[in-house]
Structure formats: C-alpha cells, structure tokens
Structure 1
Amino acid sequence: MKVVTITGYKPFELNIFKASDPRIKIIKETLKRRLIPLIEDGLQWVLVSGQMGVELWTCQVIMDLQDTYDIKLGVIPPFENQESRWPEPYQLEYEEVCIHADFFQPLYQSEYKGPFQFKARDKWLIAKSDGCLVLTDEEYPGSTAYFLEEAKQAEKFYMISHITPFDLDETVQDLQAENINIWDND
C-alpha cells in the first residue's frame, strides 16, 4: 500500500472536550503503532480531509514521524474554510496542519454548499488511496458510517482496516507495562 486514507471520530463523538484529555495520547500512540509498520512496508502518503478529532491527531502523528520516516501528508478538505465554525483550539491545530502538509487543496474552491461535498470528499479520498484506516466502533459508527459505506462500495479492491476500542485498550496495557504514565495532563 502506497497511499492510505485515515479517518475516524470527531472529538465530541468520543466525549473529548479538552486538548489535554489523556485519551488523545492513547489514540495518537495507537495511530503511530499502526502507521510505522505500514511506512516501513512502503507507505508513502497519508490522506485526510482535516476534520477535527482523529484526522487532526493523525496529522500531528505524521508530522512527528516525518522526523524519522519519509512519509508525506495530504490534507484535502471538502470545501474552503471548513474550520470556520470549530472551537478556536481546533482552528489553530488545523491551521498548523495545513501549513505543514506536503499537499493541501480543498476539493471544492468554495464555502460549504451542501452535504454532497462530504460525499464527493469520501469518493475522492477512496479513489486516490489504496486503503483506509478508520478509528471506529462497529456498534456505534457515528460519522465514520458514511465514509465506510463509500469504502465498501469502492469500484476497486480497497483495503479497509479498523482501529477499535480493543486496539486502544491494548495500547493502554502496553504503555502501562512499559511504566509510561498516560493519565497525566502534561
């Protein structure tokens, strides 16, 4: 796999309301642990639409991994100024991610016009990638349901990988075994 799309829950879908929430560290560590083997196996690009939550956290993980690995980040939002109604901390994170992305281009060169832009975004990301990695719980898919439905209907072989609550629990157990304190708010 040379190109992968990563998506998942928005923060409020995870009941995360502060940037200091320790669960973000767990999610980022899990993403890192899933990405490194893919990169070492030839992954060249990670694509996201830049949504707040899992996608922004993915971007931060990629930016950290770029110190060690040759991996590129593409941010393709569905329309211009998607962040305009987000809480300010997420707007600032998004701005930083967009500046550091190896490729940034809104799919529609206009403001929000309708839900068709999200559907077009999902189709575009699927068409341009070899597979996806989605942080989701199949019982409660939330906003990931729309992307997953498109991915399942891909007109090509499209690998769908999941990060589940079990994977997050496994990361917690691994970090605890390594005596790494994940519950502090540094």
Structure 2
Amino acid sequence: MGKRIWVSGYRAWELNVYGDQDPKLAVIKYVLKAQLRQELDADMDWLITGGELGVEQWAASVGLSLKADYPELQIAMMTPYADFGHQWQENNQATLATLQQQVDFARSTSTRPYESGRQLGAYNRFMAQHTDGAVFVYDPEFVGKPQYAWAAANAEANRREYPVRNVSMLDLEDAARDYAEQQRDE
C-alpha cells in the first residue's frame, strides 16, 4: 500500500511571493518537485494538501504536473471549513476553484462555514492523523502561519512512526543556487 503525504508550508505573502511571474516561485516549485519526486519514489500515492495561497496550492499544482510521469499519483485538497477562501480576491477564489476541480478529491473537514479557530485545530489534527508523513516548506526559526500545522505533524510523529520533513530557509537558499546553475546550463 502506498503512502499518503501531507504537504503544507508558508503562505505566499510570508515568502514575499507576489504573482505567478515572481522568480522566487520558480525556485519554490523546483524544491516542491524535488521533494514530491523523492516521496513518489518512496511509495507515495496520495499527495494531500490544503487550499491556502502559497505552498499548499503550489504543491497541488506541481503534483498535477507530475501526473504525466507518475500516473498513479492521486491528489487531495482538504480545507478546514465549508466556505474556505470566500473572502479572498476574485482571482484567488478562481484559482482555488480551478485546483479543486483538477485534483482527484476535494473536501472540507468541517461542513460548516468558519466559526472559530477550533476548526483549524481540528483540521490540523485530521491532516496529521489521516496521512503517513508530512513535508513542510517551513522553518521553525522563522515562525509563521504554518506553525500550528507543523506542531500537529510533530505531535503525530511523537505518537507513531510519522516522518516530518521540512524545507528550511537555508534549504531554499541552496535550491535557489542549484536552480540558477541549472538555468545557466540549459
């Protein structure tokens, strides 16, 4: 049986990525592709992510691009409540809706609209308990929104065998150098 891997991390604004043409986005997708290929080669068959603007949507997008090489890959996009993203700008709502249509499975862990932070805590526990490991683009030295998901994943790792991998800021810097070299060589 394959593995279900939870992928999460920083929001776009936390990484100062603004728009699809931002050069930092190419590096982040390069890193995500490498991480996902590593997981696929280690028997991942489900990529499970959320719908947040940033690493989660980028992971879903990269996962969709990998399906040509890994047709067995299934992608799930889980959100913490029913009206997730409804307050976003129209173009961001449209991007979320498009991704939700393209992935293999899209649901919310709560059927109710946003009511309180308890839904977010329940969501993080659900994600950790229903996956076999996690990959985060998150650096605990640079605290951000993913800190609660990161804590839930690490709590799960303390309960059972649950590998939690992270891409730190240093890893991103290294990847930027590798990516730049690769672009020069092409």
What is residue 50 of structure 1 aligned with on the other side? 51
| Cα distance in structure 2, aligned partners of 1:43 and 1:24 | 24
Q: Which amino acid aligns with 1:24?
A: L
- Rounded to whole Å, the distance in 1 between the matches of 2:121 and 2:11 is 17
Using the alignment, how far apart are the partners of 2:181 and 2:154 within structure 1? 37
Letter in 2 for 1:64: S
SS at match of 2:75: strand
> Does the residue aligned with 2:8 lie in a helix, a strand or coil?
strand
**2:124 aligned to 103, 116, 122, which one?**
122
In structure 2, relative to structure 1, the CA distance for the partners of 1:38 and 1:17 (3 Å cut) is same
User: What's 2:168 paired with?
Assistant: 164
After the TM superposition, which residues 45-84 of structure 1 pair with which residues of structure 2 at under 5 Å, given as runs? Answer: 45-69=46-70, 70-84=72-86
Aligned match for 1:135, one of 125, 134, 137: 137
State the shift of 1:44 in Å. 0.3
TM-score, normalized by length of structure 1?
0.91
User: Match of 1:33?
Assistant: 34
SS of 1:73 mapped into structure 2: strand
Task: For residues 157-178 of structure 1, give each alpha carbon's deviation from its aligned partner in whole angstroms, at most 9, with x where no partner exists.
Answer: 2211001122222222222222
Aligned residues of 1:49 and 1:121 also touching (Cα < 8 A): no
Letter matched to residue 20 of structure 2: A
What is the RMSD computed on CA atoms of the aligned residues? Answer: 1.5
Match of 2:112 among 110, 113, 117: 110
Residue 18 of structure 1 and its aligned partner are, at CA, apart by 2.4
AA matched with 1:123: R
Read off the aligned partner of 2:48 and give its amino acid letter.
L
- Structure 1 residue 17: Cα displacement: 2.7
- State the SS of the aligned residue for 1:179: helix
Between 1:84-93 and 1:23-32, the stretch displaced more is 84-93
* Unaligned ranges ≥5, structure 1: 182-186
Contact 1:2 1:45 in 2 (8 A): yes
Structure 2: runs of 5 or more not aligned: none
CA distance in 1 between partners of 2:36 and 2:107 (Å): 23
- TM-score for both structures, normalised by structure 2: 0.91
Give distance in 1, aligned partners of 2:9 and 2:109: 19
| Gap change, CA 1:95 and 1:139, over 3 Å in 2 | same
On the 8 A contact 2:30/2:179 being kept in 1, the answer is no
Alignment partner of 2:44: what SS?
Answer: coil
1:148 aligns with 2:150: yes
Seq. identity, %: 23
Deviations 1:73-132 (A, max 9, x none): 011101112111122332122111100111111111121111111111110110111111
Letter in 2 for 1:78: P
Partner amino acid for 2:143? P
State the shift of 1:60 in Å.
0.4
